[in-house]
Amino acid sequence: MTWHATVLTLFPEMFPGPLGQSLAGRALQAGLWRLDARDIRANATDRHRTVDDTPFGGGPGMVMRPDVVSAALASVQDGRPVVYLTPRGRRLAQADVRDFAAGPGVVLLCGRYEGIDQRAIEAAAAQEISVGDYVLSGGELPAMVLLDAAVRLLPGVMGAADSATEESFANGLLEYPQYTRPAEWCGRAVPPVLLSGNHAAIAAWRQAEAEAITRRRRPDLWAAHTNNVARALAAP
C-alpha cells in the first residue's frame, strides 16, 4: 500500500508547497507516496465556521476547539499514527522518522493560535512532536519537515547514489565533511587522503572525522554513541 500522509490544517493551500519540488515532489508525482491536506474548518458547524474560542482560565489568544478538531480527525483516522506538531512535544529525531517511514503513513495535526484543546489531542492518542525549541506560528512548516525527512527514506525515493546509510544520525554520529572539485579552491586544499584512491584509508579518515565532529559539537550524541559501542563490545 502507498505510504499516505494526511495533513489537517487551517491552511491546506500551503501544501504540497516545498514538498512538491525536488526529491519529495518527484516521488509524489511518481506515486511513491500520497499526500492530502484537509481543511479543519470544513468540520465547523456554526454559521461563521468557527474553529477557535477563548482559553478557559483567561490569558491571551485563542484555542482551537476540541469538537471541530476531533471531527476532522475522525474523518481520516484509519490506524495510521496521529501526530500533533507542538513545541511542547518530544524533539523529532531520525529514529522517529525511520519509524514513521516504516509504517503505513501519518496523520499530522497542525495547530494555530495558542494551540489545540488538550482533550482532542488525548482523545486521539496523538503523539506530540516538536521540531525544535522555538515557537512558530503554525504546525504546517513542522509537518513539512517531518514529511520531507520521512519521504526520503521510503523505498525507491532516494537512488543508491544518495543512500541514507552514511548520513548524519544514521549510525549515531554526525556526518564527516564533504568535498568536491576543484581540489584546490581559494588557497584551500581538499584533505589529501580523499585524492589517494585508498578506500580503506578514506573510510578510516571519514570515521575519525565523524567521531571528532560529533564529540565536539554534540556531546549528547557522542555519549549515546560511546555507550552503544561499549554495550556492543560487552555483548556475548
CA distance to 183, 193, 200, 206, per residue, from 196 (Å): 12, 5, 10, 13
CB of 40 to ligand SAM, least distance (A): 11
**What does the alpha-carbon distance between residue 181 and residue 199 come to, in Å, rounded to a whole number?**
18
- Interacting residue with ligand SAM among 35, 65, 68, 115 (CB under 6 A): 115
CB 178 within 8 A of CB 184: no
CB of 144 to ligand SAM, least distance (A): 11
- Interacting residue with ligand SAM among 94, 130, 168, 226 (CB under 6 A): 130
CB of 225 to ligand SAM, least distance (A): 26
- Interacting residue with ligand SAM among 138, 148, 164, 224 (CB under 6 A): 138
**189 phi and psi angles, rounded to 5 deg:** -95, 150
134 binds ligand SAM (CB under 6 A): yes
- Scanning 47-55, 133-141, 153-161, 182-190 for contacts with ligand SAM by CB under 6 A, the matching segment is 133-141
Nearest-CA neighbor of 100 among 143, 138, 38? Answer: 143
Number of shown-chain residues binding ligand SAM (CB under 6 A): 19
**What does the alpha-carbon distance between residue 50 and residue 69 come to, in Å, rounded to a whole number?**
11
Total Cβ atoms within 10 A of residue 86: 21
| Interface residue list for ligand SAM (CB under 6 A) | 85-88, 110-112, 114-115, 130-132, 134-139, 142
